[in-house]
Amino acid sequence: MHVSGHKLHAALVDPSGNVLERFEGKIAPENLVEEAAAVVKKLAVGGGNIAALGFAIPGLVNRQTDVVMISPDVPSPIREGLHKQLSKATGLRVEIENDANAAAYGEFKVGAGRGSRDIFYMMIGNGIGGAIILDGKLWTGSSGFAGEVGHITIDTEGIECVCGNTGCLETVASAPSIVRRARERLHRDSTSSLSRLGLNKDFTADDVAHEANEGDDFALMMIERTGKYIGTGVASVINLLNIEKIILGGGVMDAGQAILNPIIQEAKRRAFQPCFEATEIVAGKLGKDAITIGAATLAQDAAIT
Ligand SMILES: [Zn+2]
């Protein structure tokens, strides 16, 4: 199960990672626990026994204490007691995890990371998250927040980020940043007025990706440039970890090869060559289900051990 904005996504997942039932709906964040428990009940009707509940959220979760430290989508009065309340309301063993960590685990167990031992996962959507799996286990750092690749500095002269730093990867390559950069460019540059994006005032990052794949030069340039920014971040990860595989997921990766190719090219250009050659850079396989499947497999595995 995962919460994002005012939406709850849930799935009943078997031990092999297959989705048996699905739920997606709006929720009132202040009633998060009650509504999540109601969804669990609904999903349980068709699927028999539920072993555990994996609950993924955007934000920082301390896995040692199960306390949600920071999350834009979980109201502050229920953050601290969320784990306890969810267990009580559902009667299940509950694992709360950061959404990127959950998605990483899903890809690792049943997606693009299957068969690997060490992976780095990057989730590029409304924000940019990351997660590290070493020796088959999520490595979450000394207090649970490892892998925040979205907040490494890409542009020292860049704009302010939500984290307080300036020029983070997230400020140039997340979905809202792509839209912002495209808008700025459409206003400034006379050649960009030929882009069809200019006709649609409320375009999204998905529209930019769609136009790029339709051959629109301007949209293609925006996606390529985004790929270069991400590739710059990927090069740092490669140099730092000398990791076997880097898996890229999240909505921005829906642009497909148009974004994957420049990411790989830029990473190749910037990373230390022997490290780059040892790393495989691939797109995730689980798509939009990565977080829910990951949260579920994480909770299943925690319940076994
Ligand atoms: Zn930041």
Which tens digits make up the pLDDT trace of 138-182? 998 888 889 999 999 999 999 999 999 999 999 999 999 999 999
The HSE-up count of residue 137 (CA atoms within 13 Å, CB side) is 6
* CA 162 to ligand 1 center in whole angstroms: 6
* CA 261 to ligand 1 center in whole angstroms: 25
* CA 168 to ligand 1 center in whole angstroms: 5
pTM over 0.85: yes
| pLDDT exceeds 70 at position 273 | yes
3-state secondary structure of 164: coil
User: Going by C-beta distance under 8 Å and a sequence separation of 6 or more, which residues neighbour residue 228?
Assistant: 262, 263, 266
* CA 101 to ligand 1 center in whole angstroms: 18
Residue 221 contacts residue 259 (beta carbons within 8 Å) = no
* CA 242 to ligand 1 center in whole angstroms: 24
Q: What is the DSSP letter of 295?
A: H
Residue with tokens 């430290």: 69
CA distance 13 to 23: 12
Amino acid type, 305: T
> What's the pLDDT band for 68 if we cut at 50, 70, 90?
confident
* CA 109 to ligand 1 center in whole angstroms: 29
* CA 124 to ligand 1 center in whole angstroms: 14
- Least Cα distance to 194 among 224, 223, 220 occurs for 220
CA distance 285 to 247: 9
* CA 150 to ligand 1 center in whole angstroms: 6
* CA 129 to ligand 1 center in whole angstroms: 11
Q: Summarize pLDDT for 184-242 with one digit per residue, the tens.
A: 999 888 777 778 888 888 999 999 999 999 999 999 999 999 999 999 999 999 999 99
Helix and strand element counts for the chain (H, E): 11, 12
* CA 203 to ligand 1 center in whole angstroms: 24
Q: Summarize pLDDT for 1-12 with one digit per residue, the tens.
A: 999 888 999 999
Q: Summarize pLDDT for 35-61 with one digit per residue, the tens.
A: 999 999 998 886 668 999 999 998 888
Q: Summarize pLDDT for 93-148 with one digit per residue, the tens.
A: 999 999 999 999 999 999 999 999 999 999 999 999 999 999 999 998 888 889 99
* CA 57 to ligand 1 center in whole angstroms: 18
Both tokens of 282, joined, read: 């691939």
* CA 58 to ligand 1 center in whole angstroms: 14
CA distance 79 to 71: 8
* CA 201 to ligand 1 center in whole angstroms: 27
* CA 28 to ligand 1 center in whole angstroms: 27
